[in-house]
Amino acid sequence: MYLLSRLILKEWFKSLVGALIILFLLVTIGDIINGFMRNYDMRTIFLQYLLKLPELAGKMLPVCTLLASLFAFNRLKAHSELMGLLAGGYSSLKIYSIIFFSSLFIASIQYINLGYLQPLANKIKRQEFEKSRKNESRYLARSKTGDAGLNWYKSPRYFASFNFFDEKRNQIRDISLYFYNEDNKLYRYITAKHATYLQNGLWNFFMAMEYNSLDDKNFPVINIGEKLIVELSEVPEDFQQFKSDITTLYIGSLYSFVQKLKKSDINSTEYEILFLDKLSLALACISFGLFPVAGIFKPNRRSQSMGINIVITLVFTICFWVLQSGAQSLGNSNKIPPLMATMSAPILVLFYVFYLYRKNKKLSN
């Protein structure tokens, strides 16, 4: 039985490596040609390609597990090895188990890729982009996340920290401003529950506290009010760069960030979907890998051609991504829960796999 399991594993991983090489070669050639057409130098082309690899791998790994199962069992059928396996007492459940654990191994690689390698690549992208940006004073990607979970950035006249930027309302939550004079001494401090953009750089601070004359020897002047109009160097488009900061968080930090938002009155749906999508793509590796295994219940059927396998792959992949993207759109608009928006597509495939297994098992008994 060990030799039989080894035969299936060998065919599956051989098909997986072949699918990975072909897909990555296609992407590599396309990227190199695109880079030369834009007159980029070789260093830029190579760097952009490397930084794009984790994101590309996130989409390609599930497809590769699908191709691995399709081509592996196709070859086993072509040489009548699958028929010999089943006739020799090798159960269909063992075959499903082998493919499940093989796909689980790829899913764990996917988890590492999306949870750690992709954020690292995004972080390097940000650093490279900052170097090439001429006007950095308003670029909030230079902000840092402190131990308290606040985002800090430097503007020409002040330092600022905030908790979250709500794009839909053009609103900054839990904002604090630290104004400094020409001698780099703090002279004014403003804190507010939130600030809403008005126009021409003006922001309306709600439930604000303002401390003036902090650089004097006298006691500071304190103003407390429900509303305070403050002119900032930033506009909503600048704060929208904050969203890119989230993509540089490792999966553990992203989870902590989402939990922090959920404890407040901030809508965290978009970031929950961003977090759960990484787990969903890892689960997709398993569902894609198991989907073609139902073909083992028809070992006598002649093996399918390369063209038919490619068509099956394309149709299944397109249907999956259409369902996945549609569900996530509904999730981002708060029409369905984030868990349903991200996990519905791979779980539906797994249910279908289980249904086919039960159905074919009954017919074969």
* pLDDT one-digit tens code per residue, 223-232: 888 889 999 9
Strand, coil or helix: 164: strand
Q: Mean pLDDT over residues 338-361, rounded?
A: 92
Same domain, 301 and 349: yes
Q: What per-residue confidence (pLDDT) applies to 181?
A: 87
Q: What is the pLDDT of residues 37-70, one digit of tens each?
A: 878 778 888 888 888 899 999 999 999 999 999 8
| CATH number for position 193 | 2.60.450
- Out of 240, 269, 303, a domain closes at 240
Q: What per-residue confidence (pLDDT) applies to 161?
A: 86
**Torsion, CA 145, CA 279, CA 324, CA 260, rounded to 10:** -40
- Out of 207, 240, 273, a domain closes at 240
* pLDDT above 80 for 349: yes
* pLDDT above 70 for 244: no
**Torsion, CA 238, CA 243, CA 249, CA 251, rounded to 10:** 180
Same domain, 152 and 265: no
**Torsion, CA 261, CA 174, CA 331, CA 125, rounded to 10:** -90
Same domain, 220 and 82: no
Q: What is the pLDDT of residues 269-297, one digit of tens each?
A: 888 999 999 999 999 999 999 998 887 76
Same domain, 68 and 121: yes
Please indicate, yes or no, if residue 138 is contained in any of the structural domains: no
Same domain, 127 and 212: no
Q: What per-residue confidence (pLDDT) applies to 101?
A: 96
Q: What per-residue confidence (pLDDT) applies to 139?
A: 45
Mean pLDDT taken over the chain: 84
Please indicate, yes or no, if residue 193 is contained in any of the structural domains: yes
Task: Please report which helix (H) or strand (E) contains residue 194, including its range.
Answer: strand 186-197
Same domain, 158 and 109: no
* pLDDT above 60 for 126: yes
Please indicate, yes or no, if residue 255 is contained in any of the structural domains: no
Q: Mean pLDDT over residues 150-161, rounded?
A: 82
Give the total number of structural domains in the chain: 2
Look up tokens 């759960």; give the residue.
276
Same domain, 45 and 118: yes
Please indicate, yes or no, if residue 249 is contained in any of the structural domains: no
Task: Assign 135 a pLDDT band (cuts: 50, 70, 90).
Answer: very low
Same domain, 234 and 351: no
Q: Which residues contact 48 (CB under 8 A, 6 or more apart)?
A: 31, 35, 40
**Residue 287 to residue 346: CA distance in whole angstroms:** 6
Q: What is the pLDDT of residues 298-347, one digit of tens each?
A: 656 555 565 676 787 788 889 999 999 999 999 988 899 999 999 999 99
Q: What per-residue confidence (pLDDT) applies to 130?
A: 59
Which is it for strands 186-197 and 171-180: parallel, antiparallel or unpaired? antiparallel
**Residue 295 to residue 108: CA distance in whole angstroms:** 26
Q: Mean pLDDT over residues 265-271, rounded?
A: 74
Same domain, 154 and 235: yes
Q: Worst-scoring range by mean pLDDT, 9-18, 121-130, 135-144, 186-195?
A: 135-144
Same domain, 127 and 268: yes
* pLDDT above 50 for 146: no
Q: Structural domain of residue 187, as residue ranges?
A: 143-240
User: pTM for the whole thing?
Assistant: 0.75
Amino acid at 320: F
Strand, coil or helix: 318: helix
Q: Worst-scoring range by mean pLDDT, 96-105, 150-159, 201-210, 238-247?
A: 238-247
Burial 70-97 (b: 16+ CB within 10 A, else e): bbbbbbbbeeebbeebbeeebebeebbe
> pLDDT above 70 covers what percent of the chain?
86
**Residue 38 to residue 33: CA distance in whole angstroms:** 9
Q: What per-residue confidence (pLDDT) applies to 350?
A: 94
